[in-house]
Structure 1
Amino acid sequence: MADDNLAPHASNDLNMSYESVQTSGLGSSSTDDDATGFENEDHPTLSSADWKNELPNMCGGDNRKKNPRLSSSYSMDSVGDLKSDTVYSITKTATFSPSISSTIGTIRSDKKRLSRRTAGKQNTEMLWDNLTTLLSYIYAAFVVVFAAVVTVLRPHIYVGLHRIEINDVFFTTICFVGLAWLAFLHVDLSRLERRAVKERDREKRDTDIPMSDYVSEWSEDQGRPVTGYSYLTGRHSGSFYLKVGMTVFCCGHLIHEGLLLGKEVIGWMHGGEICADISLLVVHVVRPIFSFYQLYFLFKYSNIVINRWVVMAKFGIMHCFATTLSYWFRTIVDDAYGDVIKANKHQGPYWLPPAESERFSDQPDNLTNLSCATADLFSPAYLAPMQYLYPFTIEFDLLLAGVWFIVLQNLGKHGLKNSHKRYRSSEETTEKNLVISVDCHSANRGIFAGIVVLLASIVVMVVFYVTVLSEEHNHTGVIVYLVQEGVLLSLAFVASLLAYARIVVLDINSHPITILDDFLLCIPLPFYFLHGMLGVIANLQTGGSWARILLQIFSVIQVVVQTPLIIDGLRRCSNSHVLRYKKPGREVVSFLIVINITMWIVYTFERKMAVRFFMGIRYYGLHAWVFVEHTTIPLMLFYRFHSSVCLADMWKSAYEAE
């Protein structure tokens, strides 16, 4: 009776064992009767269904006698009685023939060897991945350091009568390398997209089942990564406002490069062989092309995830990253050298005290040669815009470096959750990025109050230029500048406190995407601190204005208050209907956006005109203070602009559901 009840259970378990062996290439495929114990005249090879039907009978007493190689033994012990139901502990043992047992052991050993082989392959891949990543970082560091050395020392060689600067040759070379990699990536991406479109169209004609194309991120049929390209979605795809800012800075950078190119061409035409600098001319031709190509590629593909040619992509991205940093440093040095030369000629925005004239009268050759093309060929109206355009170049290079860093972080990430699976979705993303839906609810008063401040600042800016350019009223112009700066800082400080007090009621976003914004916000902070401390020390040591000292300190305090506000606000959302309707703090955030844009405009166009009246040059000397100004001011300007970008993102996303 017990055996009859237990036979079905034995049937199921032994059937699984049989099917496992059959799946492994055993069972009916063998020609040796003794190898399986199931193939003879009395018991021919059975199918899986027949085996399930026959096994209960085979487990009976008679069948165990007919099949001595298959036996089952059972033991049953009563362990208790609960609510009139008897609970049994059943112990079952299935015994196979020695040949099947050895085969199963062989399968297990093969499985272990396969597992070890897979683990070894994974270790090799991980080693290669880490090694190439490290080498790409080392390569980028070498490019930046070498560029800095040749930019400062300016080694040169002569080819005939032409002087060739080594730094110009180097910068031209890295531009060509970057262009080559970008062109390769762009062509490969376009080729796969076209192939995907053709296959998708052919698939549509043949069947109604959608296909998974070459740019998909994951193959649903095979369950493994596809080597191609995919695209991030949502906030992962990057801020549209950041792309607009990158475009604005690129336009200023291209205008600056165009003026420099025109200066070199005209200087070469009118200055003769002594002013001919072919290498510099090539730099000013290649660099704008490379910059514009980077803008085009990143504006369209900033959300790309590269899963193809990954090793090459690592070095290519790090090359572009290092190139942007190298050009950032070169722009600072070149513009600073140019201002030093103009200051010694009693030109430019930097005032040179009489005591300093003799100190800098003997200029090194590498500084004097920079003024060759400038000479007297150009009117002040031609050269004047350059002092306002060079910060655009620095800010553009910094933005490029940040975006390339994010692309590097997504490199080779096959299974990203928020990525597109079809080529069509990448087109939709591009179209979606070009459409902006703006809800100005609870923001009107803040926007219009900011516009009033912006217009008033423009009027004050005109008054500042009229007074500061007059020898009789230049000190009045300085007072106008200080008052304007103090009012703007006070408004921004109060607005930051009010906004922080109101956004704390918003919900926390558990999946914020803010790494790029955090990076770009925190990079300028040390330069703010450096400029503030050096300015305070110079004014204290030379008996400068206390108003200027207080403004330097207040500027640092306002930045320290505003930065946590932005970083916290980017991690907020509104999951409740009440928050989405009331939108607490949105009016103040709107006001802060316009205030930061206003401060960026004011500092861009007024700062250099007012710097001659400050004490930095008197205390630190011309060379030191010019390099301090050219290093810190562009990043301080960038902080104001990027703060407005982050606040605009916060203005939209913090008042939406997560």
Structure 2
Amino acid sequence: MGIAFPMAEVISTYIPPSFYEGFYLYLYIGSMVFLLFMYTTLLWGKPKTPPPVKKQPTKAAIIHRTQSTTCSTDSGERSDSEDDTVSSEPKVMIPTRRMSMASAAAASRIQHFGSFYLRMGAVAFGIGSMIYSGLEFGQYFELERDTKCHNVLLALTPATRMAFIFIQMYFIFLNNEQIKVYRHKILARFGLMHMIGTNLSVWFSVLIQETKHEILTFYNPENRTLRISHRLGNKMIPHPVESIAHLRVARGLKGPHNIFECRRSNIIGTLVQDASPFLFPCTIEYSLICAAILYVMWRSISRPQSEPPQRQESLHPLKRSPHHYSVDCAGAHKGLFIGILILVLTIISLILFFVLISRPEFVSLAVTEVNICELTLYGTTTAATLIGMIQVRHMQYDAFRSFSLDDILLVGGQTGSFLYSTFTVIGGQFMMRKDTVLVLITALASLVETACQTMFILDASRRSAATQEHIRKKPGREIVTFLLVSNLAMWAINTLEKSRAESHPIQLHFYGLWAWTIITHVSMPLAIFYRFHSTVCLCEIWKRAYKMKPAYM
């Protein structure tokens, strides 16, 4: 339904605008009710967690605690007097740590629902999504009364979505220890699946609606023409494309409603239209991250608990606080400053691109300039990943590590980059002219670079320092640092230059306005997310791969 409803609303002219807004209200309100239920359950469950002998530690209580078959999750909040008493028995704790090291490592992986950097990214994208929903809410007050477009659901749905995003963002960012579910597991599984469906429905709805709005910015219903915006100098699309597009639109205007009758207009509407290319990818990326994290939560609830009863308490005195971070910048300076140089040159190239493409006589020069920049960037990062693979091959490799959440998100985001580059290669191949060869080569270089970088990240994330020489030399850390900053540069290119269909006139004229706009809106948010998540994975590699420590820490 999350796919069918918005598509039917756009395709059919017999369905009035915003006819299915009630369905999204059900999704948002149902998810918020479940989240409030979860918060209430956690708050009511907290007073039962501390042991009753916390204030008066006695010898009998200590013996009872060490022999008990259950372990409190709040053992880190015991008084100092208890810790001093327990510390008098170090010989009992150290053998327990050694015997359960493997199981503790496995359990620690199960408890993690996304890394700290990934959850920070979810917060950043959630803020962008809330701004997008807030602008849509403000747009309602500019609509004329007593018209088909003046529907109270157009204000209620964005406001409810904004509240849902905020509550879910807090839920995602909670500490892992706070979101353990011990009761009402069936209801928790149902609620998490409902939230996953809500995030996917938001993804498809925003994607379809933004595609429609961008197409309508080019379509003039009065004279039935398609016009490229000011970036290409108000240039009309050639006649064959115009006639085909005219026939496609005409076949869709037979019903009592028009797809352009509720177009964005006035002050807030124009602001939403100008900001949407930068804000709607935030909604898609936020929904993708939340759906993936919620799915991992759902799997952890469905999996039976098999934790050793004494492990958490015995490991606690030797375990580092999860909020304590140490940063060693050795072996990263060259890669950092070369990456900064690449980032500065990329920003200069983007500024030149936007200045040149706004003038009709310099459109071809703008396309050539930005393609040279992209080709240089892809070639440099491809060479860096190959060098990095060679440098880290002698480090210890964990062959038993399963496919993690970060790996799934990385490969999922890569599909968007592959999709965009493949369509560009096809368009460049069948439009073999002098000005399309560079576009074709750049798209091929993007395919190669993305594949090499994904393989490098998947390999390096499973490696760690095995000797003191690895800790001292830190092989491959310069490359990891360079790739981290370079992906920020490629993220800027995807966000600012590739996010709009009109920025690529060659592909636009080959596929047509409708097809290329759909291709861009489907693939580019995933490609933007791929660059962001690559930086997340590279940060994890940069931080963890060059330390020798037990797996459970």
For the criterion TM > 0.5, the same-fold answer is yes
User: Which has the larger displacement, 536-545 or 640-649?
Assistant: 536-545
Query: What's the counterpart of residue 626 of structure 1?
Result: 517
Match of residue 96 from structure 2: none
Q: Verify: 1:294 aligned to 2:168, yes or no.
A: yes
Q: Which residue of 1 aligns with 2:9?
A: 154
Q: For 1:203-352, what aligned pairs fall within 5 Å after superposition?
A: 203-205=54-56, 207=58, 209=61, 215=73, 233=108, 236-237=111-112, 238-267=114-143, 270-302=144-176, 304-345=179-220, 346=227, 348=229
Alignment of 1:398-547 (within 5 A): 398-411=288-301, 412-416=303-307, 421=312, 432-433=322-323, 435-509=324-398, 512=401, 514-544=403-433, 545-547=436-438
Whether the aligned pair in 2 keeps the contact of 1:192 and 1:214 (CA below 8 Å) is no
Question: Deviation at 1:453?
Answer: 1.5
Offset from partner CA, 1:463-519 (integer Å, 9 cap, x none): 221111123323222222111111111111111111111111110236646510111
**How far does residue 562 in structure 1 lie from its aligned partner after superposition?**
0.9
- The 8 Å contact of residues 416 and 527 in structure 2, kept in 1 or not, is answered as yes
Q: Deviations over 1:323-362 (max 9, x none)?
A: 1111111111111011111111336579762433333553
Which residue does 1:374 correspond to in 2? 264
Match of 1:339, as an amino acid? E
Assess, with a 3 A threshold, how the Cα gap between structure 1 residues 259 and 418 changes in structure 2: closer, same or farther: farther
Once the two structures are superposed, residues 588-619 of structure 1 have per-residue CA deviations (whole angstroms, 9 ceiling, x without a partner) of 11000010111001210111457443333333
Q: Which residue of 1 aligns with 2:32?
A: 179
Q: What is the deviation of 1:292?
A: 1.5
CA distance in 1, matches of 2:309, 2:497: 44
Aligned to 1:603, what secondary structure does the other structure show? helix
Decide whether the 8 Å contact of 2:49 with 2:74 is kept in 1.
Answer: no
> Does the C-alpha gap of structure 1 residues 513 and 299 become closer, same or farther in structure 2, counting only changes over 3 Å?
farther
Query: How much does 1:163 deviate?
Result: 6.0
Counterpart AA for 1:287: R
Contact 1:344–1:361 (Cα < 8 Å) also in 2: no
Whole-Å Cα distance in 2 between the matches of residues 418 and 598 of structure 1?
Answer: 48
The structure number with the bigger radius of gyration is: 1
For residues 268-324 of structure 1, give each alpha carbon's deviation from its aligned partner in whole angstroms, at most 9, with x where no partner exists: xx4543321222322101111111211111111456443321111111111111111
Q: 1:595 to 1:155 in 2, by over 3 A?
A: closer
Residues in 2 aligned to 1:513 and 1:366: alpha-carbon distance in whole angstroms: 54
Query: Structure 1 residues 610, 323: CA separation in 2 closer, same or farther (over 3 Å shift)?
Result: closer
2: CA distance, partners of 1:284 / 1:541: 43
Unaligned runs of 5+ in 1: 1-145, 157-161, 218-230
Change (3 A) 1:417 1:263: farther
RCO (CA 8 Å, sep 6+): is it higher in 1 or 2?
A: 2
The 10-residue stretch of structure 1 (538-547 or 632-641) with the greater mean CA deviation from structure 2: 538-547
Residues 1:613 and 1:521: Cα distance change in structure 2 (over 3 Å)? closer
The match for 1:635 among 503, 517, 526 is 526
Q: Which residue of 2 aligns with 1:613?
A: 504
Following superposition, the deviation at residue 573 of structure 1 comes to 0.9
Deviations 1:562-593 (A, max 9, x none): 11110111111113211111110101110000
Partner SS, residue 445 of structure 1: helix
Higher share of residues assigned strand: 1
For residues 194 and 449 of structure 1, do their structure 2 counterparts lie closer, same or farther at Cα, with a shift above 3 Å needed?
farther
User: TM-score when scaled to structure 2?
Assistant: 0.80
Q: Does residue 536 of structure 2 align to residue 645 of structure 1? A: yes
Pick from 467, 470, 486: which aligns with 1:579? 470
Q: How far apart, CA to CA, are the structure 2 residues paired with 1:647 and 1:366? A: 53
* Aligned residue type for 1:241: Y
| Contact in 2 for aligned 1:147/1:167 (Cα 8 Å) | no
Please tell me the residue identity of whatever aligns with 1:168.
E
Cα deviation code 1:179-230 (max 9, x no counterpart): 1111111111122123324x55x6323647366677579xxxxxxxxxxxxx
Q: In the aligned structure 2, how far is the partner of 1:419 from the partner of 1:595? A: 46
**Match for 2:247: what amino acid?**
R
Q: Identify the range of structure 1 (607-616 vs 295-304) with the bigger mean alpha-carbon deviation.
A: 607-616
Give the direction of change, closer, same or farther, for the CA distance of 1:169–1:522 in structure 2 (3 Å limit): same
1:560 equivalent in alignment to 2:451: yes
Whether the 8 Å contact between 1:275 and 1:373 is mirrored in structure 2 is: no
Once the two structures are superposed, residues 365-424 of structure 1 have per-residue CA deviations (whole angstroms, 9 ceiling, x without a partner) of: 6984565251345575553111111111111111111111211221143224699857x9
CA–CA separation in structure 2 for the residues paired with 1:590 and 1:340 = 40
C-alpha distance 624-535 of structure 1, shift in aligned 2 (>3 A): same
Residues in 2 aligned to 1:373 and 1:404: alpha-carbon distance in whole angstroms: 35
Q: 1:384 to 1:165 in 2, by over 3 A?
A: closer
Counterpart amino acid of residue 472 in structure 2: Y
Cα offsets for 1:422-446 (capped at 9, x unmatched): 7x98xx99x734x432111111111
Alpha-carbon RMSD: 3.1
- Classify the secondary structure of the residue corresponding to 2:350: helix
Moved more, 355-364 or 630-639: 355-364
> What runs of 5+ residues in structure 2 fail to find an aligned partner?
76-105, 221-226
- Give the Cα separation in 2 of the matches to 1:388 and 1:519: 25
Give, in whole Å, the separation in 1 of the partners of 2:20 and 2:543. 45
Which stretch of the first structure deviates more once superposed, 320-329 or 600-609?
600-609
- Percent sequence identity is 25
> Are the aligned partners of 1:512 and 1:571 in contact in 2 as well (CA < 8 Å)?
yes
Change (3 A) 1:252 1:454: same
Partner of 1:126: none
Q: Distance in 1 between matches of 2:339 and 2:530?
A: 18
Q: Partner of 1:188 in structure 2? A: 41
Q: How many residues in Structure 1 have an aligned counterpart in Structure 2?
A: 486
CA distance in 2, matches of 1:232, 1:419: 13
